[in-house]
Amino acid sequence: MEIVFQQTPGLTETPMRYCPGCGHGVVHRLVAEAYTELGMKEKTIGVAPVGCSVFADEYFNVDMIQGPHGRGPAIATGIKRCKPESLVFSYQGDGDLASIGMAETIHSAARSENITIIFINNAIYGMTGGQMAPTTLIGMKSTTSPHGRTVEANGYPIKMCELLAALDGPVYLERVSVDKPAAVVKAKRAIKRAFQYQIEKRGFTLVEILSQCPTDWGMMPLAALERVRKEMMPFFPLGIYKEPADSKAAVAEKE
Amino acid sequence: MGEKLFMKGNEALAEGAIRAGCRFFAGYPITPQNEVPEYMSWRLPEAGGTFIQAESEVSAINMLYGASATGTRTMTSSSSPGISLKQEGISYCASAELPIFFANVVRGGPGLGNIAPSQGDYFQSTRGGGHGDYRVIVMAPKSVAEMANFPRLCYEMAFKYRIPAMILADGILGQMMEPLEFDFEPIDPATFELPKWALRGSGGAERRRVNSYDLRPSYMEKWNFRLEAKYQEIAANEIRYEATQIEDADIVLAAYGTSARICESALMLGRREGLKIGLVRPITVWPFPTQIFKDLSKRVKKFLVVEMSLGQFVEDVQLSINGKAEIYLHKRPAGAIPTGEEVLEITKKILSGDQTKLHSKP
Ligand SMILES: Cc1ncc(C[n+]2csc(CCOP(=O)(O)OP(=O)(O)O)c2C)c(N)n1
Ligand code: SF4
């Protein structure tokens, strides 16, 4: 019989502790499939953040390091500079990447470090119980914006792909989602492209994944997916924000 | 080895680290240690290493966290406020057992303080420094030659015990120029076997994990006890100190680093006048040379502690002597520097019995 789907050897068999309906688990699979299919599993070193995905070092079946909140890009920089032949990724949430670790994000991008960042934007601080994130939408409730985020009190959410696209350093920036099967396929393609560019030593790549956090959004999983589509996508438009000119042409030709 | 050089302390420190196999440096400018990153920026690439001027001290220490996890000999340096910023990362390195090497060229504090030499970071250095229960190995040089030669000792201990090791210097040691000789041949890290734990990609074998957490309290407790056992082993094996003319001493000076250097001249001046002055100078301030003080206190009844801070180092001397002798303290915090004459004068007062215990202002 033909095998159409199987568990990727890129993940360990440790059961994941993510909540039902959470986006993290899906993205873990995509990242693992991507480095495995590119033949890089044995040369990959991953960085786990502080956040719900702190346990990523248990799940990714590759050499892993877990570090301080927000510092993934600096850690990945240190690893990559010492082991340039390895594939290095940093997996981060929005509090981790766009709040406490903003400096590390911007400067690793500006230096065009040859690393890949997998950025889970779920508009909330998951692990600490649903506080406001730098990506929490205007009007969205959180435990530290109980009446909904307001511009007056909290300012605006940060659009990371747009912000980073203003820098010369990044080579590839794309925002995707995992709200339906077609989107998942697209997300995987984006992650694979980012890894491919890293293998080609082109420089800084980041894939932002709009993700759902049913638990801290206080929603059923399906309603959470609906929120990703109806509320997040209009504010955080999906698409490619930066890509190498030559591969843009090559991709267009293929498709 | 053998070659006589004349160097500034900070540059000697950088050169010493490179000769000891450092191949990755990340740092952020701050006076009085700027010559370290400046020197590293041209010299390290020459030696086949990587220099990065990080966007902050926080980023620099985390670059080290990653780089040292690959088994590379790494270094960062900073001065007081910058070292404060690095503490979270140092705590992670201590827990994850990464052998980083760093230097604090201490300046006056607290706050922005000033850029003058100080020993105000003694507690921070010897008590762990960041959050959680841990220690780092702390070596306190007193000369440019030791600035040059201690990095090798730090790397050897750091890799042997998988623990951060640091040099606790100050603005004087960083800025002054002195002749020096290296007491070791340059080390080529390419000849080292990569440690088992070093990340490199699984290569098809068992994967490796570097982390600092276990959410199960009983497991994290075991982790802490495992670290503690290592600290005890280090305390049993790695204590270094220098004892000068203690055999017949009526009073023993106790000081480290620059203060010890100043005490040496007080001792010399005093001995010339026939005063029986001795000196104990810890070279490792963690682990602290407790035993020599304990032993001495059986015979010597007066100790004068000299430190460029408000009474931090004196606590370790007190803990060691444990009430068995009188301890006097001469303190010059926040960038003030005592002189040999000043120390000698206080020593004389103590010997003649008119100095208040544990208190002396210049
Ligand atoms: C220095 C530091 N500050 C704060 C925390 C507490 N903390 C843990 S996870 C987290 C937020 C994580 O949110 P995010 O990055 O959005 O990831 P998510 O959990 O949503 O996946 C915070 C603030 C910490 N561990 N360390
Ligand atoms: S709290 Fe949210 S982000 Fe964290 S595991 Fe649960 S659903 Fe996922």
Q: Identify the CA nearest to B20 among candidates B92, B96, B99, B93.
A: B99
Give the pTM.
0.96
Residue B266 lies in a domain: yes
Q: What is the pLDDT of residue B116?
A: 94
Q: Which residues of A touch B (CB under 8 A)?
A: 41-45, 47-48, 54, 57-58, 61-68, 71, 74-83, 86-87, 103-104, 106-107, 111
Cβ atoms of B47 and B14 closer than 8 Å: no
Residue B105 lies in a domain: yes
Phi-psi region at A123: left, alpha or beta (left = phi > 0; alpha = psi -120 to 50): left
Q: What residue spans of B243-326 are helical by DSSP H?
A: 257-272, 290-296, 313-321
In this predicted model, what pLDDT tens digit does every residue of B320-362 receive, in sequence order?
999 999 999 999 998 899 999 999 999 999 999 876 544 544 4
Kindly give the distance from the C-alpha atom of residue A133 to the centroid of ligand 1, in angstroms, as a whole number: 10
Q: What is B114-158 written as a DSSP string?
A: -SSB--TTHHHHHT-SSSSS---EEE---SHHHHHHHHHHHHHHH
Q: What is the CATH number of the domain that holds B347?
A: 3.40.50.920
Q: Identify the CA nearest to B82 among candidates B132, B30, B139, B19.
A: B30
Q: Identify the CA nearest to B28 among candidates B71, B73, B81.
A: B81
One domain for residues B232 and B282: no
Please report residues of A whose CB lies closer than 8 A to that of B66: 47, 65, 67, 74-80, 82
Task: Say how far apart CA B60 and CA B66 lie, in whole Å.
Answer: 10
- SS3 of B61-123: HHHHHHHHCCCCCEEEEECHHHHHHHHHHHHHHHHHCCCCEEEEEEECCCCCCCCCECCCCHH
Q: What is the pLDDT of residue A5?
A: 84
One domain for residues B132 and B267: no
Please report residues of B whose CB lies closer than 8 A to that of A41: 202
Other CB atoms closer than 10 Å to residue B230's CB: what's the count? Answer: 16
Q: What is the pLDDT of residue B356?
A: 59
* Chains A, B: CB pairs < 8 Å: 130
Structure tokens at B78: 């900073």
Q: What is the pLDDT of residue B157?
A: 98
Please report residues of A whose CB lies closer than 8 A to that of B65: 65, 67-68, 71, 74-75, 78
Query: Which domains does chain A possess?
Result: 24-254 (3.40.50.970)
Residue B9 lies in a domain: yes
Task: Say how far apart CA B288 and CA B137 lie, in whole Å.
Answer: 10
Domain boundary among B209, B236, B263: B236
One domain for residues B96 and B186: yes
Residue B60 lies in a domain: yes
Residue B362 lies in a domain: no
Helix or strand run (H / E) with residue A207 = strand A205-210
Residue B212 lies in a domain: no
Domain boundary among B218, B236, B254: B236
Structural domain of B190: 5-200+226-236
Least confident of A238-242, B38-42, B204-208: B204-208
Q: What is the dihedral of CA B211, B217, B223, B226, to 10 degrees?
A: 170
Separate counts of helices (H) and strands (E) for chain A: 12, 9
Is the Cα torsion angle A154, A155, A157, A158 positive or negative in sign?
Answer: negative
Q: What is the pLDDT of residue B114?
A: 93
Instruction: Answer whether B65 sits within 8 Å of A63, measured CB to CB.
Output: no
pLDDT category at B192 given cuts 50, 70, 90 is very high
Task: Say how far apart CA B164 and CA B105 lie, in whole Å.
Answer: 16
Distance from first CA to last CA of chain B, Å, rounded? 42
One domain for residues B127 and B169: yes
Place of tokens 């989602």: A177
Q: What is the pLDDT of residue B354?
A: 72
One domain for residues B271 and B193: no
Inter-CA distances, B197 with A10, B70, B269, Å: 20, 8, 52
One domain for residues B181 and B313: no
Domain count, chain B: 2
Residue B208 lies in a domain: no
Cβ atoms of B231 and B135 closer than 8 Å: yes
Q: What are phi and psi of B7, to 5 degrees?
A: -140, 160
ipTM of the shown complex: 0.95
One domain for residues B59 and B87: yes
- Look over chain B and give the mean of its residue pLDDT values, rounded to a whole number: 96
Phi-psi region at A239: left, alpha or beta (left = phi > 0; alpha = psi -120 to 50): left
Instruction: Answer whether A57 sits within 8 Å of B202, measured CB to CB.
Output: no
One domain for residues B152 and B263: no
pLDDT surpasses 90 at B24 = yes
Our CA-based measurement puts residue A115 at a distance from the nearest CA of chain B, in whole angstroms, of 13
**pLDDT tens for chain A, residues 1 to 255:** 888 888 999 999 999 999 999 999 999 999 999 999 999 999 999 999 999 999 999 999 999 999 999 999 999 999 999 999 999 999 999 999 999 999 999 999 999 999 999 999 999 999 999 999 999 999 999 999 999 999 999 999 999 999 999 999 999 999 999 999 999 999 999 999 999 999 999 999 999 999 999 999 999 999 999 999 999 999 999 999 999 988 766 666 666
Q: What is the pLDDT of residue B151?
A: 98
Cβ atoms of B95 and B134 closer than 8 Å: yes
Instruction: Answer whether B65 sits within 8 Å of A71, measured CB to CB.
Output: yes
Residue B48 lies in a domain: yes
Cβ atoms of B58 and B89 closer than 8 Å: yes
* β-strand pairing of B251-254 with B277-282: parallel
Whether A95 is in the pocket of ligand 1, judged by its Cβ within 6 Å, is yes
DSSP state of B187: P
Report the percent of chain B where pLDDT is more than 90. Answer: 96
Cβ atoms of B96 and B212 closer than 8 Å: yes
One domain for residues B231 and B255: no
Kindly give the distance from the C-alpha atom of residue B324 to the centroid of ligand 2, in angstroms, as a whole number: 59
Strand ranges across the sheet with A172-177: A239-242, A172-177, A205-210, A116-121, A87-93, A44-48, A63-66, B209-210
Phi-psi region at A70: left, alpha or beta (left = phi > 0; alpha = psi -120 to 50): left
One domain for residues B26 and B146: yes
Residue A65: helix, strand or coil by DSSP?
Answer: strand
One domain for residues B230 and B274: no
Contacts of A226 (CB under 8 A, 6+ apart): none
Instruction: Answer whether B74 sits within 8 Å of A74, measured CB to CB.
Output: no
One domain for residues B338 and B270: yes
Q: What is the CATH number of the domain that holds B83?
A: 3.40.50.970
